[in-house]
Structure 1
């Protein structure tokens, strides 16, 4: 699907605020409401807009620890990657997992009640024998930037 500047403005706007009114979105896009709504629906149906989410402020609920975990696998066959990915996908503590090129295989963003809960997760992953050869832990001490949207304008 070829996107034009109006589509990109719509995507940028809803990525930052998925609850804005259709009228406000039309103003931002520079369209009247009906054509803007039709474009939005087209973007949703094409799967470009995959969903809408609330941004939760977890520290208002309870304290927690964020950890970045660097993982290298012992073997690099397709089955090894699939086994590891199935295991971490099933763990709710693993908020994100990225397969990366370079000196390591994966980076994970882990959310735990505290460092002890994180260590229990690591112990369970190691005991599950999912191919972890080594891992490194980086405790997030302060969030500097964590934007909810995607910089769609950079793609245009």
Structure 2
């Protein structure tokens, strides 16, 4: 990240806040003309700093009112078991993120579902995934911060 200058950081901050900015709007925000601004955006994309542009959807409007986390321990930690488990998680509709953790649990999966019955069905599916030994589920009571921006200032 040390290769980024102040303008690159400003571009990344602006695009995180609004990925729909036109090149003209972005160039104005970072005090560049359009061509150099566009070249910098392309360079940031090619260098892997920008992975894509996405719409942030309202899960409740989509009927996904239940949100929670499943923390789990694995029976064993072989590479084959981990790979099979991770493939199953990637294919699971309703799983919106999954992290391999240090500490008391091996993985944490973030889930959304239309109701508690649908959430329970997802948890039952997860219990049957390769290598799963113990599952702990918690529900979100209130979302305080979601979709946070990454800090890009030096």
Report the TM-score, using the length of structure 1 for normalisation. 0.91
1:25 paired residue number: 26
Correspondence 1:2-151 to 2 at 5 A: 2-128=3-129, 130-151=130-151
- Long gaps (5+) in structure 1: none
Which one has the bigger helix percentage?
1
Q: Which moved more, 1:56-65 or 1:40-49?
A: 56-65
Give the deviation of 1:98 after TM superposition: 0.5
Measure, in 2, the Cα distance between the counterparts of 1:64 and 1:13.
30
Give the deviation of 1:4 after TM superposition: 1.1
Measure, in 2, the Cα distance between the counterparts of 1:51 and 1:149.
14
Report the TM-score, using the length of structure 2 for normalisation. 0.92
Structure 1 stretches of at least 4 aligned residues deviating more than 6 Å after TM superposition: none
Across the aligned residues of Structure 1 and Structure 2, the Cα RMSD in angstroms comes to: 1.5
- Long gaps (5+) in structure 2: none
Give the deviation of 1:116 after TM superposition: 1.0
Secondary structure of 1:125's counterpart equals helix
